[in-house]
């Protein structure tokens, strides 16, 4: 069956949710806290999906009542029906789990009215058989979030599958506020402003006349070259981290002329270099 199914389980607080987010960034279709009896149905629906779902990660854990007995029974059923899956079990030391629950101020699912340690110990006992049957056990006691991401990439992504992140370019006007969803911000208000040229004022940076005006000065070309050089350095680190998106904001005063022309040129150059890129002009149609 042409479906890669990874089942993510383990101790509460061991990093399962973070791991699922990593799987999602790597192109897996992810579902958290799925009742085990639904696993075969879910797998079948994925295989029949018209969107071509080929990689799936499912989180199951102690939050689902009677999940252990249900899962052990369902897993035997799935093996008889030739479903292929890999079970990954996350764990951590008691003192690390206690610290994590204290830092997040969230109750342990088995210790809502008693000490956290008692809940952790009970969960370890309940999940001992699940751990024994796991294909891979990962102890996250000494992991940072980045190290956890790295281990997921190491185990579950072939080198040929790692793609350059999609670069999203947003032009905007500072007078309307900075976009909140950005990773990098470039201010191009140092460039000459077409807004003060009467015959150009009503145009936008998508018009050739504005582009010619902006790039008439050599500093505009130099700026584009520096940004592209920086991206050549930066993008491989995003690839290594498994991040699917890199969002770049380019701002001028009103978001109609300079930022639009620069964003358009950067987008065209990145597409020509075979980067996966998208372009959006946030403020180009505002009433200026």
Q: For residue 248, which of 187, 190, 207 has the smallest C-alpha distance?
A: 187
Inter-residue contact 57 to 28 (CB < 8 Å): yes
Inter-residue contact 220 to 191 (CB < 8 Å): yes
Q: Helices 258-272 and 218-241 meet at what angle, rounded to 10? A: 60
Q: Give the pLDDT of residue 272.
A: 93
If the chain, 288 residues long, is cut into consecutive pieces of 10 residues, what is the mean pLDDT of each piece? 85 92 88 86 82 85 74 83 87 92 84 87 91 90 82 72 76 92 93 94 95 96 96 86 82 96 96 89 84
The dihedrals phi and psi of 26, each to the nearest 5 degrees, come to -90, 10
Q: Give the pLDDT of residue 160.
A: 53
Burial status of residue 45 (CB atoms within 10 A of its CB: 0-12, 13-18, 19 or more): exposed
Place of tokens 């976009």: 179
Q: For residue 250, which of 193, 183, 153, 196 has the smallest C-alpha distance?
A: 183
Distance (Å, whole) CA 57 – CA 74: 16
Domains of the chain: 4-161 (3.40.50.300), 166-281 (no CATH)
Distance (Å, whole) CA 247 – CA 180: 10
Q: Give the pLDDT of residue 65.
A: 64
Q: Give the pLDDT of residue 79.
A: 79
């Amino acid at each position: 069956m042409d479906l890669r199914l990874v089942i993510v389980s383990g101790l509460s607080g061991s990093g399962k949710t973070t791991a699922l987010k990593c799987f999602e960034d790597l192109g897996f279709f992810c579902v958290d806290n799925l009742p085990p009896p639904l696993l075969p149905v879910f797998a079948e629906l994925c295989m029949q999906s018209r969107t071509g779902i080929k990689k799936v990660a499912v989180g199951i854990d102690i939050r689902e009542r009677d999940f252990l007995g249900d899962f052990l029974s369902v897993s035997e059923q799935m093996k008889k029906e030739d479903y292929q899956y890999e079970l990954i079990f996350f764990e951590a030391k008691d003192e690390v789990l206690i610290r994590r629950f204290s830092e997040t101020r969230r109750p342990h699912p088995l210790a809502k009215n008693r000490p956290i340690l008692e809940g952790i110990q009970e969960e370890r006992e309940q999940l001992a058989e699940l751990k024994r049957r796991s294909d891979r056990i990962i102890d996250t006691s000494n992991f940072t979030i980045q190290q956890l991401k790295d281990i997921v990439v190491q185990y579950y992504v072939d080198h040929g599958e790692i793609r350059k992140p999609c670069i999203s370019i947003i032009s905007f006007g500072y007078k309307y506020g900075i976009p909140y969803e950005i990773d990098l911000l470039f201010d191009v208000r140092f460039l000459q402003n077409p807004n003060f040229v009467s015959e150009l004022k009503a145009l936008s940076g998508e018009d050739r006349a504005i582009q010619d005006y902006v790039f008439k000065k050599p500093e505009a070309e130099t700026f584009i070259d520096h940004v592209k050089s920086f991206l050549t350095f930066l993008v491989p680190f995003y690839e290594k981290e498994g991040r699917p998106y890199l969002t770049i904001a380019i701002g001028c005063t009103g978001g109609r002329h300079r930022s639009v022309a620069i964003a358009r040129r950067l987008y065209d150059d990145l597409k020509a270099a075979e980067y996966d890129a998208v372009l959006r002009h946030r403020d180009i149609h505002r009433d200026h």
